[in-house]
């Protein structure tokens, strides 16, 4: 039980997909012009990540190691398509909002990297918590970035007018996404340096 909570926490801060692993940066920059967009994409990612991690954890012995990557892509695409087909039946209103985001997910680096690094080696329960933790971490990253960009770019949070004017329009443009994520990443690294006294190792962006 203790390890599962650790896995959840691990995805949220120490190995946050956006700020620490620097994975799935393209959607993170493109989508986070508002908190709502970040929240919707984050929710969609949590579903796909958890389902894919569990599927791979259960069926890993059937997947030949040489074709694991194409098999993972099929698993992710399967879940994305299934959600895309079932959601409009269950709740057309929710689907209308997340439709665009769900279709983006197939090519996210974070999902396939968690399948490769974690779910393909570990049993079902830890894989579930790792997937959930990573999904929540991604959601947290998107919402934080989205909140900063929306606030400075349009003066709003969740579409509610707070300032009544646009302080910095560049924040809602793609360049603003890079600025915000870069600054948050720097803050993460600075805090880690202060806490541990070690210079954090670098990650590769995808």
Partner 1 sequence: MKEIFKITVSLTAVCIVASLILGFVYAKTEHARKLNEEKIEQDTIQSLLGYGKGKTPPSDLRVYPVYRYVINSAEGETFLGYVLPLKDKKVALVKMDLSGNPVKVFPIEADLSSLSDKATRDAAVDAVLPKGSKSVYAQTIFVADLGDKRLGYVVPGITQGFKTFIKLMVALNPDFTVTGVAVTYSEEDPGLGAEIQKDFFRNQFVGKTLDFLKKLTVVKEPLPASYAIALDPAKAKKKGLSAEQVKEIKAKHVNDNIYALTGATISSRALTSGVVNTVKKFVYRLDKLNEAVKKDQLSIAF
What residues line the site for partner 1 (CB under 8 A)?
Answer: 30-34, 37, 40-41, 62-64, 66-67, 70-71, 74-75, 77-78, 81-82, 85-86, 88-89, 92, 100-101, 103, 161, 169, 172-174
Measured from the CB atom, the residue of 41 and 109 that comes closer to partner 1 is 41
Q: What share of the chain is helix, strand, coil (3-state, %, to 5)?
A: 75, 0, 20
Helix, strand, or coil (residue 116) = helix
Q: DSSP assignment, residue 19?
A: T
What is the Rg, in whole angstroms, of the alpha carbon atoms belonging to the chain?
Answer: 18
Per-residue 3-state assignment (H helix, E strand, C coil) for 99-142: HHHHHHHHHCHHHHHHHHHHHCCCCHHHHHHHHHHHHHHHHHHH
Least separation in angstroms between residue 148's CB and partner 1 is 14
Least separation in angstroms between residue 12's CB and partner 1 is 24
The two tokens of residue 195 are 């806490």
Measured from the CB atom, the residue of 16 and 33 that comes closer to partner 1 is 33
Least separation in angstroms between residue 37's CB and partner 1 is 5
Least separation in angstroms between residue 101's CB and partner 1 is 6
Measured from the CB atom, the residue of 6 and 103 that comes closer to partner 1 is 103
178: nearest Cα among 136, 202, 148, 200? 148
Measured from the CB atom, the residue of 77 and 205 that comes closer to partner 1 is 77
Least separation in angstroms between residue 171's CB and partner 1 is 11
Measured from the CB atom, the residue of 7 and 43 that comes closer to partner 1 is 43
């Amino acid at each position: 039980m203790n390890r599962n909570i650790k896995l959840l926490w691990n995805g949220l801060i120490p190995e946050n997909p956006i700020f620490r692993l620097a994975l799935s940066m393209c959607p993170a920059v493109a989508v986070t012009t508002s908190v709502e967009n970040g929240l919707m994409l984050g929710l969609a990612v949590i579903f796909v990540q958890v389902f894919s991690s569990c599927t791979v954890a259960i069926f890993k012995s059937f997947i030949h190691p040489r074709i694991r990557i194409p098999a993972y892509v099929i698993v992710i695409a399967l879940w994305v398509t299934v959600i895309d087909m079932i959601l409009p039946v269950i709740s057309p209103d929710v689907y209308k909002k997340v439709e665009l985001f769900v279709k983006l997910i197939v090519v996210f680096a974070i999902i396939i990297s968690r399948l490769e690094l974690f779910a393909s080696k570990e049993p079902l329960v830890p894989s579930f918590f790792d997937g959930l933790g990573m999904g929540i971490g991604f959601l947290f990253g998107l919402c934080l970035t989205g909140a900063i960009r929306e606030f400075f770019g349009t003066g709003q949070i969740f579409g509610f007018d707070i300032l009544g004017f646009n302080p910095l329009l560049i924040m809602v443009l793609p360049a603003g996404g890079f600025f915000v994520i870069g600054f948050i990443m720097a803050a993460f690294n600075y805090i880690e340096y202060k806490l541990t006294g070690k210079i954090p190792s670098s990650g590769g962006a995808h």
